[in-house]
Amino acid sequence: MTISTSIPARMDVTLPLGKVRCMNCAGKITQALQVLDGVETVAVDTQNARLSGQLDLAKIIETIETLGYEAGYQHDLPLAGLSCGKCVAKLKSVFAADPRIAQFEVSKTRAVVLGALDQDALTALIQSAGYQVPLSEHPDDQETSGQQARSDAAAHLQNAETAPEAPATTATVSDSPNEADADSHYFLISGMTCASCVSSVEKAIRQVDAVSAVSVNLAERTALVQGEIDPESVIRAVSNAGYGAELSEDERTRRERQQAQNSAVYRQHLINAGLALALGVPLMAWGVFGGSMMIDSVTSQWSWGIIGLLTLALLVYCGGHYYRDAWKAFLHHRASMDTLVALGTGAAWFYSMFVVLTPEWFPAQARHVYFEASAMILGLITLGHALETKARGRTSKALEKLIDLQPQTAILVDDQGEREVPLAEIKPGMKLRLRPGAKVPVDGVIETGESYLDESMLTGEPVPAHKKPGDELHAGTINQSGSLLFIARQVGNQTLLARIIGLVRQAQSSKPELARMADTISAIFVPTVMIIAIVTATIWYYVGPDPVSIYMLVTATTVLIIACPCALGLATPMSVTVGLGRAAEHGILIRHADAMQLAAGIDTVVLDKTGTLTEGKPVLTHSHYYGEYTEEQVLTLAASLEQGAEHPLAKAIVAAAKAQSLPLKTLSQFHAQPGYGVSGQVETHNILLGNRALMVKEGIDTACQEADALTLSDDGATAIFIAIDGQPAAVFGISDPLRADSGEAVARLQAKGIEVIMLTGDTERTAKAIARQAGITKVIAGVLPDGKSEEVRQLQQSGKHVAMVGDGINDAPALAQAEIGIAMGSGSDVAIESAQLTLVRHSLHGVADALELSSATLRNMKQNLFGAFVYNTLGIPLAAGILFPFTGSLLSPVIAGAAMALSSITVVSNANRLRLFRPGSAQYQTTTLTDNKGGLE
């Protein structure tokens, strides 16, 4: 369940009411609403509540429901046009930005909304976001007022179950954190060897009913399939296409199964390569050091015939899968890397055996055998696959370390005492024991005990966090000292750690624009190579020297072998997999690989002020006192007046009094004056607390307070005037302090040539004061949330590539408008679905880290693609014999096989260099998410 966190907006609203039976009930509601902050006028009857002012709709509905009544329009609408979690996040952002919506829940197929919008208005809002509301499945209207019985959807919205309420200043994740991924399925794919295979598997899966999206990762041999599908239908489709597939139920099972497959494949490749090279190397050495490779006698026929049979056995045992897969590809009317290998090695063997059996059919100079070529090509390519498999096993180390953070057992506390049970048996609501030094098994809330927990694996913060009763715990964090008793809240795939792992896994299966371009080329690459080989052979047949059969064979075989698109298929998936895993280690969650490519081109970073540059928690920082009242007296009376208020400034005053252990007095009267402040009576004193306008309105002379108030504003603090019994008593300065590392992070961004802009709704004087402290020169102040996106749009129209950084859902329109939206988050309140990038640790260094890592990943992808394209672009002409007129020699098929294998190894090794990437923040922050000690290696 998500609560809209829009800043209260000035509006007039009419809310339908339910269970209001008389005007006495209406009077109770009127009294309760009149004291709410921002409410200017209230008119309530038995049918409706009409209000005006700066209204917090969620608070108003909550107040009415607390009295036992119902309020607001409740909708449960079907949706169409939402194809992925990104669409869900976009619609949530639209709802969250609308002040007329109090609560909402969105999936790909339904929207449950509570607020002041009737059905027509809500439908129009959904359509403005680019989605549709199909005709209702039910004949009766789904719009219900408070007078009607609430639907099941209403109950779903109102029942928060056991989940703790999220702070109003941060975006919350729905009750089902994996809702966006609820219809996502992971499959382990076997039999893929190149980018052409990727295209074939994706095409086969897309033909399955109900599949909305599919992404196949060659580097990991996995397929992410989205849609309400029958997994068996996907497995059948992949099998019919000539490949293998099995469903991966969870991350740990998937990893164990994948590791087992990789180990088995690696061992088999090594065995096959050893056998092939054991035959091929002596044969090649024989030819290199002067041995005859010609058929010139019966003895040579017998000798080479035996070697030919040995080579055939080798091709069947060690290379049989190439021929089987090539045959499957042929049956499915496609060509792959296996096709090229099978044609190349097969052509060399058949030609050689034909020469052995019928040498008289060939001119004397054409009676050359190439058994060593078949054996060496097979051995080198298989050795390359073995090394590639070994290197691929290292690409997901970052993700595997995250998976290893969660223990497999938990200590359950029940009527039978304390006992250790498997994690799968833990359910929400169970009571668990956490001993010193142990890892937290599931997300929960502390019931008894205090301790310090190392949360560096989630937040990147090296300082242990002090936890006490009521505080939240997160799976994978480490208890350092005391024993804790806590209640399980989120278990299994609903824990924050599981959500992070799932997000990284989903992003690793996505493809940036560069990868899609490579896939498009790869889909036609193999057939093109086969055509080039045929054309090459034809040209040599007509213009080549005698014996033309040898030149045709060598050139065509070499073209087939050297052009295998293994490197092309691995170029981008390897970089994406390693880069996203490395980002997760540094607390940077990336929803889609496209975001990394976009982030690499950012030249302007727009920062929200509150909660992004600053702590987001106002505190009393300055105070000036006048007249006969002491500091203790003024602070006690002010805090007593504000003790029941919800405003952040009021909480800062109360917190300051509690920090000094000042006793709060009895409040006998309280009156909120929207736009001015508050007033009331504490014991025998009449108190005024608010802005300068309140003092002027009440006839208080503020001459003695003006200078201090102006100084406070220049320092970035909000000046709060206080008068006691008609006399000026104090001016409080309340400010939201700058985060300790914000200045350093801004300097890092500026050092990279990135323009940093502050965008805030605060006053220009306060905003500029904070900007000076952070080292920011350009400030856009006084902008409401709905105006932030327009400011971002104007920057884009001026040619800027903008990244918007905000603290969650309040900045959702601007986050969606920017090329890259970066949400600041912490703990379970991380705004995973509000932006393309989310920073788990609440530090602006994460923004610089994300941009640096994105640039490094994009650079790595380009290096891999450049190598793969240049290799094939140069290799094919060389293999076709373009240098023969100048050198008089051709490229050996064996050299081509070695080069092809080397290209794949080079791409994989280059991608794994990203594992060594350390962002510039290393000098400020060395702790990463890899382990409890911090650091990468």
Asked if the bond preceding 547 is cis, omega within 30° of 0, the reply is yes
Q: For the residues of 470-513, what is the DSSP string, one character each?
A: T-EE-TT-EE-SS-EEEEEEE-GGGSHHHHHHHHHHHHHHS--H
Q: Which residues of 846-866 are buried (b: 16+ CB within 10 A; e: fewer)?
A: bbbbbbbbbbbbbebbebbbe
Q: For the residues of 534-587, what is the DSSP string, one character each?
A: HHHHHHHHHHSPSSHHHHHHHHHHHHHHHT-THHHHHHHHHHHHHHHHHHHHTT
Nearest to 9 by CA among 70, 58, 63: 58
Decide: 445 and 471 in contact? Cβ < 8 Å. Answer: yes
Question: What is the C-alpha separation between 517 and 781, in angstroms, rounded?
Answer: 42
Q: Which two tokens stand for residue 768?
A: 């500029």
Decide: 748 and 921 in contact? Cβ < 8 Å. Answer: yes
Residue 139: burial class (beta carbons within 10 Å; 0-12, 13-18, 19+): exposed
Nearest to 746 by CA among 909, 607, 880, 651: 607
Question: What is the C-alpha separation between 725 and 684, in angstroms, rounded?
Answer: 9
Question: What is the C-alpha separation between 689 and 672, in angstroms, rounded?
Answer: 10
Residue with token string 């090594």: 270
Residue with token string 């005391």: 482
CA 328 from centre of chain: 37
DSSP H helices, 394-495, are 397-404, 456-459
Residue 699: burial class (beta carbons within 10 Å; 0-12, 13-18, 19+): exposed
Residue 200: burial class (beta carbons within 10 Å; 0-12, 13-18, 19+): buried
Taking the C-alpha atoms of 378, 380, 384 and 387 in order, what is their torsion angle to the nearest 10 degrees?
A: 110
Q: Which two tokens stand for residue 178?
A: 């994996």
Specify the DSSP element, H or E, that contains 719.
strand 718-724
Q: Which two tokens stand for residue 937?
A: 């290696």
Decide: 71 and 147 in contact? Cβ < 8 Å. Answer: no
Q: Which residues of 552-588 are buried (b: 16+ CB within 10 A; e: fewer)?
A: bbbbbbbbbbbbbbbbbbbbbbbbbbbbbbbbbbbbb
- Mark whether 608 is an active-site residue: yes
Specify the DSSP element, H or E, that contains 61.
helix 57-66
Q: Which residues of 788-800 are buried (b: 16+ CB within 10 A; e: fewer)?
A: bbebbeebeeeeb
Options 608, 736, 807, 811, the catalytic residue: 608
Which residues are the active-site residues? 608
